[in-house]
Structure 1
Amino acid sequence: MSSQRTPHHGVLLVDKKPGWTSHDVVAKVRGLFGQKKVGHTGTLDPMATGLLVVCLGRATRLAEYMVGHDKTYEGTVALGATTDTDDAEGNVLSRREVPPISEADVQRLTARFTGRICQVPPQYSAIKKQGERAYAVARRGGSAELEARPIVIHDLTVAVSHAGQCLDIGVHCGPGTYIRSLARDIGEALGCGGHLASLRRTSAGPFNVAEAQTLASVEAVSAAERGALLKKPGTGLESLPRVHVSKENAVRLAGGLSVEVADLPEAAGPILVYCGSDLLVGVAGRIEGDGLKCRKVLATREELDLC
């Protein structure tokens, strides 16, 4: 008789290979760990490689607090050709001659695309317009009218490569930034058009791709030892305020009740609640006065009995 595996709860850092969708990675992780409750905190396009943050078990309840992380990327912009997807996987729409690119041009690009800017998302994106995904409209040969959105690019490095036909870029950006759109807009700024030829995500918030595992390396580990590859739930949320409560209050919070806590952080947003040395009870929010009430509960009654 087959025995059901004990579910795992934590964060797995995956170094995604090209050709895989983010959903493919989630499906593979589900199979490797033998559980359904798996999700990621930010999509990577199929052609892209690098860091995909995957949450398992109760850690999926925290994914919404990670999607706003800053991210860093390394990529290559191919100049002289535009595509319908703004990357190398699309159909070529136009070709233009690439002009010589000077150091002054590079400096103008970095100045123009650094800071708070507005960006039009790619036509092939999951953004909804009138209830329909933009990519669905594009696949039918249509064009969704997507508005420019405010984004933040904290840092941009640009270097000419491939005999002046490409630009190697490094990007540190806030959430909601499309690197495909950035590549497209850089090409237009140079007057020749361009598209994203390659992309690698190197970090997301406090997580770095140097810490990540390939799916092959996860599969090579025995099923009994794969749990050791996971980071504890709550890892990656170090920027959120936290409080420690007594066991009695932890039980009340986990049961859906509110409690009074002295010296609460002056925070209107989520607050991590811990009991004992390191048990994450859940994510709470302030209510009237010094009250605290859990929005997400992670700890089980068995874990609370031991804290």
Structure 2
Amino acid sequence: MYVKTVIMLMLYFLPYCCIVLGFGASSIWLFLGFWLLMAVGMCGIGTAVMHDANHGTYSRNKKVNNFISHVLEVIGGYTVTWKIQHNVLHHTYTNVAGLDEDIDSIIFLRLSPNQKYYWFHRYQYLYAWFFYMMMTLFWMTAKDYLQVIRYKQHDLLIKQKVSLPQAVFRITLYKLFYYSYILVLPILFAGVAWYWVIAGFLLMHFAAGLFLSCVFQPSHVMESSAFLMPVLKEGKSQMEDSWAIHEVANTTDFAPNNRILSWFIGGLNYQIEHHLFTGVCHVHYRKLAPIVRATAKQYGLPYHLQPTFLRALLEHARMLKRLGKRP
């Protein structure tokens, strides 16, 4: 994990230093290439470093986990809102419309058969990729503010031991730091026109947003997913299946033999294992997967698996088209 962390940080900060030092001023293509390389580093930091740290699995030492988790603020995010959306909501209520914010995004995307249908959803399998490109850009600008207000209304900030004013102040401070180094310094020192800096910044986020979406969406928004909703039992709303069975039924693994992809995305192609064992570092998923698959077969449970990354994307696109049909 330490070696991977150094590599991912270098992938992000070395091209950034090249930009600020003016090494890309001689060629716009080289300049934009540096931003694309930063997108690679940004994805690697998010999936293979920050993700484990915020789950508490980067290290056995809680202080190390807490320290490494704040690399998220360095790339423009906020750990508190990330933990609530991902650790609390997504991992507890996977694919449950109205609770899992990973599928409750914008009105233009229908990512569950339990969400309201609009006529324009018939084209979402074509335009969804554009909105996927916008994911990290929206996250780095407005999303954190909108989330803390919503989480305050639902008393979700309490367990994170932060008040709404504190959260808003910290987000603002982190955003000022982020935009100061990611935009202001390159505009001042890169040796290119300001609009090329903006173009490079947007290119970085479009590339990172698209790739990250293509990693996460095929893990859950698939035709094989159950998408079951809570039912009333004895006057209480509850799930029919246990939590573990619900996770297996709504999650898909892909590309188990692609060691390079798995290394880069922090084992998130083993999404079933990640959802069942959130307290285990991703370096162990590859060996956990055959055990989980055999156990699922033993008890007659589904184990959704796509052989390649491309096949998983194609199946996700097919699901987008299916969800775009009038119910």
TM-score (norm 1): 0.25
Q: Which has the higher helix share?
A: 2
Instruction: Choose 1 or 2 for highest CA Rg.
Output: 1
Please give the TM-score of this superposition, normalised by the length of structure 2. Answer: 0.24
Name whichever structure is richer in strand by fraction: 1
